[in-house]
Amino acid sequence: MDLIEHRNAKQIKIGFEFNRTLKEHLKKLSGIKWSATHHCFYILFSQKNAKRLEDHLTNKGYHVNRKKLSAAKVKPVQNAEKKLAEKPELTKTEKGLLWKYVNYLRGKRFSKSTVKTYYSFILKFVRFLDKPVAELKKRDFEGFIEQVLVPQNYSVSSHRQCVSAFKHFAVLFNLDTSIDFENLRPKREKKLPVVLSTEEVIAILQATRNLKHRAVLSLIYSSGLRIGELLALQLEDIDVERRQVFVHQSKNRKDRLVILAESILPLLQNYLVSYKPEKYVVEGKPGKTYSAESVRAFLKRSCKRAKIKKRVTPHTLRHSFATHLLEEGVDLRHIQELLGHSRPETTMIYTHVRKKDLLAIKSPLDRALGGLKKTLPDKQDKNLGLSGDISN
């Protein structure tokens, strides 16, 4: 057993050579989870969990090495986090609430991703509660935010999603109508997206050694796809003759056509012949969709090989696609259509990160130094900069 940082907390990593019997026995212990990022089972780090895990394994005759755990210092766990980690299984009533909530969201025709996100927040919220749902007040929702979301370093975006989940929960169960959920929602962050240069994109693709992985990253960048759109693509959605990719019912339930790069065709053909996917363009098991976590993991490895220091995700490739089109003079309205944005304001953010316009602006420091050098005598070195002696 070893320690890892995962999901903003210390976790006990459980490493072992593949053993189906051990794997099935391990999954019987409450709190055990699988990490696709670290390719291991793990459980929240606490001395109590370490002891539970050790007892669970040694009772079946498995040897446990706790040397690294014994030397580790435990960071104090917030009361709410401890409560969530150690609370027993959900009651029958709590399970009923959650099923009713999920069915309610599905009835509103939310996407699978949205249902999963909202459910995950309400699951934690239900486990956090110590009173009947009918008695909930605004302060109970605020307490969850203060004791769970903030200590666990959830992003502002996730915080906003959580409040949306709360609102639907409150409507479903007819809670206090005076609760103003908008006051619980923080303002949206105005962050500029991370954008790669074209040279960095090519470096990442060249550093991606696996044919399938390279095809995935090339498709995301060359067509400006969201990761979910790429994973949902079926073979029939690619029109080689017209150089188009058909994206079905993506965000906001919109269909759209995107470009298929001419330069990607040989790579795509090679991939399809080599891997022979049955239904989806990119598959895990035959006929099954691929994992988004796997894409993020191999992209991270490729960036490391390419010596890219920026924080790069699959969405960074989409941001780069849009920015590079804008720098090449493509109309903003066309980029909006290619990206599938509902509002032009969403696409406008790329006007703030395009490089060509910024490079055309001359810094006042350059102007000042240029003017100073013009005053120097003809025999004096005019190439001096800030690192040299520019005084008279």
Q: Would you name the residues annotated as active-site residues? A: 226, 251, 315, 318, 341, 350
Q: What is the DSSP letter of 72?
A: P
The CA distances from residue 26 to 54, 56, 63, 237, in Å, are: 11, 8, 13, 41
Q: What is the DSSP letter of 33?
A: E
Specify whether the CB–CB gap between 250 and 228 falls below 8 A. yes
Query: Could you tell me if residue 157 is left (phi over 0), alpha (psi between -120 and 50 degrees) or otherwise beta?
Result: alpha
- H helix runs in 340-377, sequence order: 344-347, 355-359, 364-374
Q: Please state the separation of Cα 166 from the chain's center in Å.
A: 22
Amino acid letter, residue 314: P
Q: Please name the residues in contact with 194: beta carbons below 8 A apart, sequence gap of 6 or more.
A: 310, 311, 312, 316, 319
Amino acid letter, residue 33: K
Q: Please state the separation of Cα 330 from the chain's center in Å.
A: 28
Question: For residue 86, what are its two tokens?
Answer: 């150690």
Report the C-alpha gap between 181 and 277 in whole angstroms.
46
Report the C-alpha gap between 82 and 45 in whole angstroms.
10
Report the C-alpha gap between 125 and 184 in whole angstroms.
15
Specify whether the CB–CB gap between 233 and 195 falls below 8 A. no
∠ CA 163-168-173, nearest 5°, is 125
Report the C-alpha gap between 96 and 87 in whole angstroms.
18
∠ CA 104-107-111, nearest 5°, is 100
